[in-house]
Amino acid sequence: MSVHIEEIRLNLPHIELAAHLYGPEDGQPVLALHGWLDNAMSFARLAPQLDGLRIVALDLAGHGHSGHRPPGANYPLWDYALDALLVAEQLGWQRFSLLGHSLGASVAMLLAAALPERVERLALIDGLLPLTHEPEQAPQQLGEALKAQLALPGKRKPVYASVERAVEARLHGGYPLSREAAELLASRGLMPQAGGYTWRSDPRLTLPSPLRMSRAHVEACVRALRCPVSLVLAEEGIPVRHPQSMALIEDLPITLHRLPGGHHLHLDDEAGASAVADCFKPLFAAP
């Protein structure tokens, strides 16, 4: 059965974002936020299995068909949160839910913590807590980021002779994912280039962050959540790096699901998408 997906553009005051739109006009409003270096195709298998939802799956700034930040800007999590909020404003959504994977899950958590009156539900996949640095690490982190910015003009994006070569590169970079998942992401993430294809994503996305929150900052945000939260952790996904982090998750009123599969379990195959959907359906069915 074919699934209707509408391509839309969202003109924010500072940037234009692209998105896929799923579901009925009167469905529950949900913003879907993908992971780092992914795009809206991240939800191509999952969104059609969540009946009754009006899902806007964004290409985050710097990803997919969305615009890039202006020269001199970076990609901090809080700017993604502002983008998501402005999208909700443009859509006329006073209250909405967030569906996030990896980086998108961290952005969703921060937005829900900061503005609990706006966010109804959080459905998170293999992500919740942003990467942190303690205060004493800040000078070194900033130094590395500044040097990387200086070196950026000398870097060139890789060019692949074919889409298949680009898919192979994606299969061997970062967290493992299925070939089908890599092909879906590449279908939206690649653009023609002299000599072949290259990624649409902004090269600045691969630079080190000038600043990260401390563990105390992140804990304060997670404890500020007031909406129902359903979190799917993949057994072969991103490891929870600190025992304190897992203890924090288990100490909070978060519905926790552990499923077999890797970091992209919601995209790797239909079975994984179905399992994730089954975890989230009770969340969205609740009054």
The whole-angstrom separation of Cα 110 and Cα 100 is 11
Question: Counting Cβ atoms within 10 Å, is residue 94 exposed (0-12), middle (13-18) or buried (19+)?
Answer: exposed
Order the strands of the 119-125 sheet from edge to edge: 6-11, 16-22, 53-58, 28-33, 96-101, 119-125, 229-236, 254-262
Tell me whether residue 2 is one of the annotated catalytic residues: no
- Evaluated on CA atoms 81, 25, 102, 250, the torsion sign reads positive
201-205 LR contacts (CB < 8 Å, sep 24+): 201/37, 201/62, 201/63, 201/64, 202/61, 202/62, 202/63, 202/68, 202/69, 202/75, 203/152, 203/155, 203/157, 204/62, 204/68, 204/69, 204/74, 204/75, 204/152, 205/36, 205/37, 205/62, 205/63, 205/75
The whole-angstrom separation of Cα 267 and Cα 286 is 25
Q: Measured between alpha carbons, how far is residue 21 from residues 104, 143, 173, 260, 278 in Å?
A: 17, 40, 29, 28, 21
Among residues 42, 66, 97, 102, which one is catalytic? 102
The whole-angstrom separation of Cα 224 and Cα 217 is 11
- Residues known to be catalytic: 102
